[in-house]
Amino acid sequence: MKRLSIIALLLLCCLPSQAQVSSMRRNAEKIASALFYIQTRYVDSVDFDKAVDAMMMGLMDQLDPHSTYIPASQVSAANEQLEGSFEGVGIEYVMLYDTLTIQAVVVGGPSEAVGLRAGDKIVAIDGETVAGVGLAAEAMKPRLRGPKGSHVTVTALRDGQARDYVIRRDKIPIESIEAAYTPEPGIVYIKLSRFAQNSAEEFLDALRQNAETRPKGMIIDLRGNGGGFMHVAIFLANLFLQDGQTIVRTEGKGINREDHARGDGLYEKGPLVILVDEDSASASEILAGALQDWDRAVIVGRRTFGKGLVQQSYSLSDGSEMRLTVGRYHTPSGRVVQSPYENGKRQDYFRQARERYSHGESFSADSISFPDSLKYKTLRLGRTVYGGGGIMPDVFVPYDTTGINRYVLRAINGGLLSEFYYDYSDKHRDALASKDLAEFDSRWEKLEPAVFDEMIAFFGTKGLKAENEEELRVAAPMLKTRLKALLARSVLGTSAYWQVINREVDPAFQEAIRIVKNWSGDFPELP
């Protein structure tokens, strides 16, 4: 049997109209002719792979803002965060003073197994010097990563002494749970950073580890969570909804689907708060929208991004991928999650999202107006909720600028706070070592005055000085808390970082705690 061309296969599978068939054939011939003439007649040599990649990206730019093309060389990296693992040595690192400095080692990973630890400085990889030679952090990735079972030798500096470590690469999990703990007895807090392949299993593990019995309340933090796999959001929604309740509706060409709860949820009743912000998108909005529409959770924070378009990945012949929008999400009440857009105006779309801050939306719910046509009713209690793009929270918490001034912004955004933190944690790791956060708090209380003075002096050596005593006084609480959180992370892990931030400088988290503690009946009275 003769091999069918790819165009013929597409025509057979999709059964387009005769007019569409003619259009597809005509455009395919046009592109092929253009490439032929460039290759055979153009005066200079051309990198055709690069040119075709650029052409594909240009094609995507004429579509909606979330359809994308990924060149073959970038597919693996693009899928990594969602697949939930990669193969390598299992360290988190930064480039400090032109030297790769280990920030953390993956527990149970290959680097921990050979004795590497946070603070070690890698100066050579497989005999090649990588310190002080101007290499960027990205340049380290291909040197450290490799197939499972392969070996790499790193030379690490600790306390001025160099030592070689032979590491057997392995599969390294990328965890999507950044923090899970009980801020108060019986209340479980889980911060989910993405909806990856392993997120559902991680979520259940985090719940089991922090609640021996049924929780008295739960807080799920989706702030900054840009989404991921829809089926993971559906799985998590099922944990909290009752049998038969709609989770999401998906509509598109050839798609008309509803997903419903199966009736085997672990926490169908009880206090539940979802934290969101302007960076919560896609799968985060599916979960938050479903729980809001069924009056199952109180949504706290700021309006979410508004990404309600469904992408399907299509692998192309050279290993590249096209992630094409094939449908739209609707919440159970019928709200459209997607914010308005125009095809071919990708930059305008993302600029509008960034301009929410300058338009005042981050600071006042009154800056957002909704026409009557965008008002919907929740499905159980008949509360008013809003469509038109994104999920508007039930309780609005403005962006907190307390303690943020020019001095703080230059210290944080200029990298000076991070630079001081890495240097200090490296030199004082034994003094900071703690078995839990309570012990760390005690150690920090004694260290804080001297550490803060040392940090301010360090900033001065880098050219950052407060204009007056008042500027420094306002900046001090924020800088102290940020530094404390970073140092807690260095000795106790990421969860400790969020515990410090949540309890000391996060009004949205504190509002969530208040709602859970004052919950009455099956849904609380809201302000």
Within 10 A of 208 (CB to CB), how many other CB atoms are there? Answer: 10
β-strands 272-276, 217-221 pairing = parallel
Write the DSSP string, 113-172. HHT--TT-EEEEETTEE-SSS---HHHHHHHH---TT-EEEEEEEETTEEEEEEEE-EEE
CA gap 237, 232 in Å, rounded: 9
Catalytic residue among 307, 339, 394, 506: 307
Q: Residue 120: is it exposed, middle or buried by C-beta count within 10 angstroms (0-12/13-18/19+)?
A: buried
CA gap 167, 164 in Å, rounded: 10
β-strands 170-173, 85-88 pairing = antiparallel
Calculate the CA dihedral of residues 156, 86, 422, 117 and round it to 10 degrees.
Answer: -40
Instruction: With residue 441 as reference, give the H or E element that holds it.
Output: helix 437-461
Which token pair is 104? 């953390």
484 is annotated as an active-site residue? no
Q: Closest by alpha carbon to 414, among 459, 453, 470?
A: 459
CA gap 246, 238 in Å, rounded: 10
317 is annotated as an active-site residue? no
Count how many residues are written for the chain: 527
Residue 325 CB contacts under 8 Å (≥ 6 apart), including other chains: 63, 64, 66, 67, 309, 310, 311
Residue 193 CB contacts under 8 Å (≥ 6 apart), including other chains: 176, 177, 178, 224, 225
Q: Is the dihedral of CA 503, 507, 508, 512 positive or negative?
A: positive
Catalytic residue among 53, 259, 293, 426: 293
CA gap 503, 513 in Å, rounded: 10
Catalytic residue among 67, 199, 282, 434: 282
Q: What is the 3-state secondary structure (H, E, C) of 259-297?
A: EECCCCCCCCCCCEEEEECCCCCCHHHHHHHHHHHCCCC
Alpha-carbon radius of gyration of the chain: 26
DSSP state of 401: -
DSSP state of 391: -
307 is annotated as an active-site residue? yes
> Quick check: helix, strand or coil at residue 102?
strand
* Cα angle for residues 264, 266, 272 (degrees, 5° grid): 125
CA gap 501, 483 in Å, rounded: 10
Within 10 A of 257 (CB to CB), how many other CB atoms are there? Answer: 11
Active site residues: 282, 293, 307
